[in-house]
A and B are shown apart, each in its own frame.
Chain A
Amino acid sequence: MPIWQVLSDVEDPEIPVISVVDLGIVREVDTARRRVVITPTYTGCPATRVIEQDIRAALDSAGYRDWTIATALSPAWTTDWISADGRRKLLAYGIAPPVPAGERAVHCPQCGSGATEEISRFGSTPCKALWRCRDCAEPFDLFKCH
């Protein structure tokens, strides 16, 4: 199986509908040096180590045992690195994707309404804030723009 395909099958441990490739965690696949370069999303994200272990396990079982995994901090990961496909998957899963800079409106992933408000700037994981829809009254997670 091509290595990009292997990586595309590795799910984020907190948001299992989206892969580490969709999230932009895989920064580079360096065939010459046989290594995968990954980047942490949030400095304190406890899932970072799990993600690395999951990638290791996937590489091993697909026969990429001699490949190494390197971590690069800079340039810092931003939510702009989440793919269009990834954003669509987040929305379908009930997490509002990050709002690009310049846009203010956060739309409710349940009913699509733009009448939303922040409940808590920090949510259930470091990457999410807790929001609420004023129309359908459902609380929802917003992937923080970062």
Chain B
Amino acid sequence: MASLPPFPPRNSRESGSGEDVLFAYLLRLGDDSLILGQRLGEWCGHAPSVEVDLSLANMALDLIGQATFFLDRAAEVEGRGRDGDRLAFHRDVLDFRNCWLVEQPNGDFAQTMARQFLFSTWQKLLFGHLVGSTDATLAAIAEKAVKEVTYHQDLASEWIIRLGDGTDESRRRMIEGLDWMARFVPELFEMDEIAVAAAESGIGVDVTHFRGDYDRITGEVLREAGLERPAEQRPVLGGRRGHHGEHLGHLLCAMQFLPRTYPDATW
């Protein structure tokens, strides 16, 4: 979003190098997984059928498991005595580094699946490449999680096809869902300074390298669903710098309420 003024880095560690880049990079990965996991968890008990309910809750668990590993590692790299829970539950909205796509409200089931499809396809490609990260812990998390994300991508693809190629209403809802979510895809492929530094040091990957694969894979599923690729829209950027929609704050209110109100609560 070019019209936004540059945001001063709230955390000086994000502008440095070496471990600071690793910390910032892990935070992005962890926040993406955490926020989408929390979103999917909102479906628990509300999905169209019990099987779908199980699927969404299981995907949420996988994502929150990823977030735990990424954020624990981030906290370890930071070396300030925080842990993954501290990062998840005691940061304010402007300190979150997730992309816009994952914080989008669930909407209807088609919209949730559109979001999942666009995100999981990207995350699967990303993790497939991160297996070669120079950070051994990051590589190990990616190696483990890519198998689970493959399931997410399969499941979401099947629903894109089923709803897109379903009734008039399911098709209309899926078109609307994809149309809304597509504007957040360019952010996934943005290479800002942190992303470039991470890729150059071998911690991360240059996401632009698999943009072609992403377009091909999503294109094949859309074709099978009988859907057009959503029209190009003005992309929404800035999540990696802490610019977020109003929805993220509401999500955090629900997610962080208990640990913030009772800071030392235990089971």
In the bound complex, residues from chain B placing their C-beta under 8 Å from that of A123 are 54, 58
Q: Are B55 and A122 touching (Cβ within 8 A)? A: yes
* Residue interface mask A7-49, B partner, CB < 8 A = 1: 0000000000000000000000000000000001011111000
Q: Mark A73-84, 1 if CB is under 8 A from B, else 0.
A: 111110000000
Whether B62 lies near A119 (C-beta < 8 A) is: no
Q: Is residue B51 contacting chain A, with contact meaning CB distance below 8 A?
A: yes
When distances are taken between beta carbons in the complex, the residues of chain A under 8 Å from B64 are 44
Which secondary structure dominates where chain A touches chain B?
loop
Could you tell me the dominant secondary structure of chain B's interface residues? helix
Cβ-defined contact, B59 with A122, below 8 A: yes
B93 within 8 A of partner (CB): no
**B20: min CB distance to chain A, Å:** 23
Contact call A73/B54, Cβ cutoff below 8 A: no
Sample 30 A-B pairs with CB under 8 A, ordered by A number: A40-B65, A42-B65, A42-B148, A43-B62, A43-B65, A43-B66, A43-B69, A43-B144, A44-B62, A45-B65, A46-B61, A73-B69, A73-B143, A74-B136, A74-B139, A74-B143, A75-B143, A76-B140, A77-B144, A119-B51, A120-B55, A121-B55, A121-B151, A121-B155, A122-B51, A122-B155, A123-B54, A123-B58, A126-B62, A146-B147
Are A44's CB and B55's CB within 8 A?
A: no
Q: Which residue, of A42, A43, A146, has the highest number of chain B Cβ atoms within 10 A? A: A43
